[in-house]
Amino acid sequence: LLRVLAEGEFFRVGGRELIRVDVRVIAATHQDLESLVAQGRFRADLLHRLDVVRLRLPPLRERRDDIAQLTDTFLAAAARKLDTPPKRLTAAALQALREHDWPGNVRELENVCWRMAA
């Protein structure tokens, strides 16, 4: 990965042909990479290549106002996939979703929506 980021090229494992690529990488983590570098558990050179632009996306529990729109989006996607009419939430159901802490973050909300749609 470091070679791809630094040079824009790589060899397949066991390969002899140099493959050139023009890519952008978006990486996400919940880990403190700086402390992992200090512990010798993550390469500093890779961190510097990945850490060109850093965006902090707060967890869902810190942006509860997004829950209604995300829920609508996930329910609509599930309805399309299942070929059913999209479900609509009652105000009480939406309030219950807003009050949940969402330890699984947006993926947990998406899974809940798929279960509701099924």
70 and 34 in a single domain? The answer is no
Burial category of 94 from C-beta neighbours within 10 Å (exposed 0-12, middle 13-18, buried 19 and up): middle
118 residues of the chain, pLDDT tens digit each: 899 999 999 999 999 999 999 999 999 898 999 999 999 999 999 999 999 999 888 999 999 999 999 999 999 999 999 999 999 999 999 999 999 999 999 999 999 999 999 9
Q: Which domain holds residue 90?
A: 60-117
CATH number, domain of 76, equals 1.10.8.60
Question: What is the number of other CB atoms lying within 10 angstroms of the CB of residue 79?
Answer: 15
Q: How much is the pLDDT for 67?
A: 98
Assign residue 102 a region (left: φ > 0; alpha: ψ between -120 and 50; beta: otherwise). left
Please report, in angstroms and rounded to a whole number, the separation of the first and last CA atoms in the chain.
39
